[in-house]
Amino acid sequence: MRILAALMLGYYFLLGRAAGYGGADANAPAMPLGMTRTARAEIDRAVAAARVPERAPVPVKSERRVTRQGRVVFIPNGCPSVERPFDLVVHFNGAPPSLEPSFERSGIDGVLLIVNLGIGSGVYEDAFQVANVFTQLLSHAEQVVHEMCPRSAGINRIALSAWSAGYGAVWRVLDRPNLAARVDAVLLSDGLHTGFEPGKDYLREINALQMAPYMLFADRAVAGEKLFAITHSSIRTPYASTTETADYLLAQENVPSIAERSAGPRERMIRISHADRGGLHVQGFAGNDKPDHCDQLHAMGDTLFPYLRSRWSR
């Protein structure tokens, strides 16, 4: 059809020249103007017929599986997205109905693995006390992805994510240098807790030894080598609160916290501080009750996941 349009265009171009449109012979008999209009109409019809209609984009089919161990594997961009080495986010402690939409909305092109073990940080610390448990978890995730998508490749970058008590698993992983080296990013949603120095509970003095794995990772984040993003509420706890641990971390890294007061991503949330340097980001929020704590989980798609999307998109 494109050839037909071109031939007709050339033919009627010649007619136009014969009708006196740029012709060299002014004494040549002129053709009626109606012929020129007809020519243009025919060309328009021919060109329109030659156009190839645009194909509607094929909707992406997400993939999801719940394993026998109760872990959830979610691939928002479907099997084509894992046919190359894929990025994996391992999240500890959080409701899948909240996390999966947040992860999908964030635009992170990767796989989400959700691990729920129970109540309290102790179950997460105990489960990952043995070094090879985390390695086995990664191998199992890779196997499940391959069962879902037979053409899948292996794991590329790894991010650890946790809400509330899930930090216990993250702490165990970061406490082993060989495992911490495999982790590219850490996201903690209102869940960076530690104890106090022995005998100094009344002073609420942060236990430096327990904070050491986080501090080593923060060092590399400030240098731009890793991503370490934290959000915290203003809930006061018998042990070191997420506000106290965040303040301690920032003080040790010599990163100032900037006070503010702005609307957060959810109705109850009010952001009261932020701190940023290199790959280290801390956002503080008002609120000292259970709903405020839960808001931190539901808001991860707006508070923490965007940092990871930005890093992994580069």
Q: Residue 98 in contact with residue 163, Cβ under 8 Å?
A: no
Question: According to the model, what pLDDT value does residue 155 have?
Answer: 98
Q: Residue 160 in contact with residue 173, Cβ under 8 Å?
A: yes
CA dist 59 and 199 (Å) reads 60
The phi-psi region of residue 45 (left if phi > 0; otherwise alpha if psi is between -120 and 50; otherwise beta) is alpha
Both 31 and 107 in one domain: the answer is no
Condensed to tens digits (0 to 9), the pLDDT of residues 150-204 reads 999 999 999 999 999 999 999 999 999 999 999 999 999 999 999 999 998 889 9
Question: According to the model, what pLDDT value does residue 202 have?
Answer: 87
Question: According to the model, what pLDDT value does residue 45 have?
Answer: 61
Question: According to the model, what pLDDT value does residue 2 have?
Answer: 47
Question: According to the model, what pLDDT value does residue 12 have?
Answer: 43
Both 43 and 84 in one domain: the answer is no
CA dist 250 and 248 (Å) reads 6
What CATH code is carried by the domain that includes residue 67?
A: 3.40.50.1820
Closest CA to 186 of 157, 213, 163, 160: 160
Both 72 and 35 in one domain: the answer is no
Question: According to the model, what pLDDT value does residue 82 have?
Answer: 97
For residue 306, is it within any domain? yes
Both 149 and 115 in one domain: the answer is yes
CA dist 43 and 104 (Å) reads 47
Both 76 and 198 in one domain: the answer is yes
Both 40 and 67 in one domain: the answer is no
Show the tokens assigned to 177: 């240098």
Residue 235, amino acid: I
Question: According to the model, what pLDDT value does residue 56 have?
Answer: 54
Counting the structural domains of the chain, the total is 2
The list of the chain residues with pLDDT below 50 reads 1-35, 43, 47
Which domain-ending residue is among 29, 50, 71?
50
Residue with tokens 């990767």: 110
Both 184 and 307 in one domain: the answer is yes
For residue 58, is it within any domain? no
For residue 56, is it within any domain? no
Condensed to tens digits (0 to 9), the pLDDT of residues 20-45 reads 434 444 444 444 444 455 655 554 56
Question: According to the model, what pLDDT value does residue 249 have?
Answer: 98
Both 116 and 76 in one domain: the answer is yes
Both 46 and 76 in one domain: the answer is no
Question: According to the model, what pLDDT value does residue 21 have?
Answer: 38
Question: According to the model, what pLDDT value does residue 131 have?
Answer: 82
Question: According to the model, what pLDDT value does residue 201 have?
Answer: 87
Both 44 and 182 in one domain: the answer is no
Q: Is 36 exposed, middle or buried (0-12, 13-18, 19+ CB in 10 A)?
A: middle
Segment (H or E) for 49: helix 33-50
CA dist 144 and 114 (Å) reads 13
Report the DSSP beta bridge partners of residue 276: 281
| DSSP structural state of residue 240 | B
Q: Which domain holds residue 216?
A: 63-313
Both 252 and 142 in one domain: the answer is yes
Distance in Å from the first CA to the final CA of the chain: 43
Report the DSSP beta bridge partners of residue 112: 74, 89
| DSSP structural state of residue 269 | -
For residue 57, is it within any domain? no
For residue 55, is it within any domain? no
CA dist 254 and 258 (Å) reads 13
Question: According to the model, what pLDDT value does residue 314 have?
Answer: 83
Both 282 and 223 in one domain: the answer is yes
Q: Residue 301 in contact with residue 163, Cβ under 8 Å?
A: no
CA dist 79 and 77 (Å) reads 7
